[in-house]
Amino acid sequence: MEMADFNGYEQNQRMYGGTAGRKMGISVDGKDYILKFPGNLKEQGMKNIRLSYSNSPVCEYIGSQIYRMLGFDVHETIPGTRNGKTVVA
């Protein structure tokens, strides 16, 4: 799996809500994308959990690929990095 480098793209003016981690809009070659970042688990106060960040971007990428293989029409997902974190566009 190849990881895209999203560091060179400026944030666009699109805003995205929701509770599944931080999101940022960017434009790549004239197309708008949502970058989804992993949630910060350090601030959740969970007992016996030593993870710093969730793996939700990886799960979204894998999940969409599985549904695509099963024949469902799903949104395109691109795994990548931005600011040292694993993200999904």
Domain ranges of the chain: 4-88
Neighbours of 11 (CB within 10 A): 10
Q: What is the pLDDT of residue 66?
A: 95
The overall average pLDDT reported for the chain is 82
| Claim: this prediction has a pTM higher than 0.95 | no
Q: What is the pLDDT of residue 79?
A: 93
pLDDT at residue 77 greater than cutoff 60 = yes
**Fold type of domain 4-88:** Phosphorylase Kinase; domain 1 (3.30.200)
Look up residue 72 and give its two tokens. Answer: 């469902």
Is the distance from CB of 74 to CB of 68 less than 8 angstroms? yes
Q: What is the pLDDT of residues 19-75, one digit of tens each?
A: 667 888 999 888 899 898 887 655 555 565 554 456 678 888 889 999 999 999 998
Is the distance from CB of 17 to CB of 34 less than 8 angstroms? no
Question: Which stretches of 17-78 are assigned E, i.e. beta strand?
Answer: 23-28, 31-36
- Amino acid of residue 59: C
Q: How many CA atoms lie within 13 A of 4 on its CB side?
A: 13
